[in-house]
Amino acid sequence: MALDLKLIFPYVNLTWVINLRIVVTGGAGFIGSHLVDELIKEGHEIIVVDNLSSGSLNNIKHHMDNPDFKLVKDDLKNFGSNWVKEFKDCDAVFHLAANPEVRVSVTEPRIHFNENILATFNVLEACRLNNVRYLVFASSSTIYGDAEKLPTPEDYAPLEPISVYGAAKLSCEYLAITYSRLYGIRTLILRYANIIGPRLNHGVIYDFINKLRRNPHQLEILGDGTQRKSYLYISDAISATYFLFDYLVKGAVSDYEVFNVGNDDWITVNEIAKIVVNEMGLKNVEFVYKPATPDGRGWKGDVKFMLLDISKLKSLGWSPKLTSYEAVRRTTKDLLKEILNK
């Protein structure tokens, strides 16, 4: 276990003074695997806990021979499993494991209760029982629901999610806040916008590419195409996450703090569709719209307009490098390259 040098040197940047022992749940997933890459690069000892239900060994196989890396294939829903003991002598936990499919939560809500709420409770219990000092929880912009204020700040109220996924994430936030206050776990809650980039295996860009590969003449678009949301490229998301982790470890957070992690701009589904068509070199593609609600949403529970206020994060000195448009175009290139290399 790393020494708590902050008690001796309160102004020292701990993240370059000592190597931390860190558990990353969901570390074989899209965001998790990119985070593991960064944490390994920074010299930390990493333990990934993942049941590989949505993650992939391919995302982390390049770390398998690293003595500072360990994969524990286990299920967070089972508290009596071996994964709990990995939290012993652990300095920090990044809890990213979750079912990421918002649409699934509408038709199969129990999945999100088990994969998100139950799993998070078990992670918090493991933190409590093993005296873990730092927790970073991956939350979501969906906790805001149909926010009347755009861009939406962290202190927006009332929080009224419109999907079971959003409700589950908000429930997890409240659990994490309570554990922070009761048991002294210093906690960061990061409300991510739509994070995109290489290794992505769900979402609108991924779906469009696969639909157009099956039928290059016609593209089915869920909703009326006017849905507008903010997108953040994975390198920016990881940069923000590690930036805030450094902020946490330096002692800037006494119990818990919430941050939006997103972009300054947003983009419509129609614009995304045009970018994907262009990058695939297609022409004369017919767009077929399938709205699931009278106001043109892609499915019941879909937030139609999302733009996070990231001024709190930017005030600390961080800013995204790519716009939503640039992130979408680069992600399309990334995913097409991955498909060709398979």
Residues noted as catalytic? 165
Query: Tokens standing for 257?
Result: 């703090």
Q: Specify whether the CB–CB gap between 320 and 259 falls below 8 A.
A: no
Using the 8-state DSSP alphabet, how is residue 79 labeled? Answer: T
Torsion of CA 132, 56, 109, 183, to 10 degrees: 0
Give the distance, in angstroms, between the CA of residue 32 and the centroid of all CA atoms in the same chain.
8
User: At which residue do the structure tokens 């949403």 appear?
Assistant: 297
Determine phi and psi for 133, rounding to 5 degrees: -90, -35
- Which CA distances in Å does 111 have to 24, 28, 86, 107, 335? 21, 19, 25, 9, 27
Query: Tokens standing for 5?
Result: 């040098």
216: left (phi over 0), alpha (psi -120 to 50) or beta: alpha
Interaxial angle between packed helices 30-41 and 234-247, expressed in degrees from 0 to 180 and rounded to the nearest 10: 60
Amino acid in the structure at residue 277: V
Amino acid in the structure at residue 205: I
Comparing C-alpha atoms, which of 240, 285, 263 is closest to residue 331?
Answer: 263
Query: Tokens standing for 84?
Result: 């709990």
The rounded distance, in Å, linking the Cα atoms of 209 and 84 is 39
Q: Specify whether the CB–CB gap between 199 and 61 falls below 8 A.
A: no
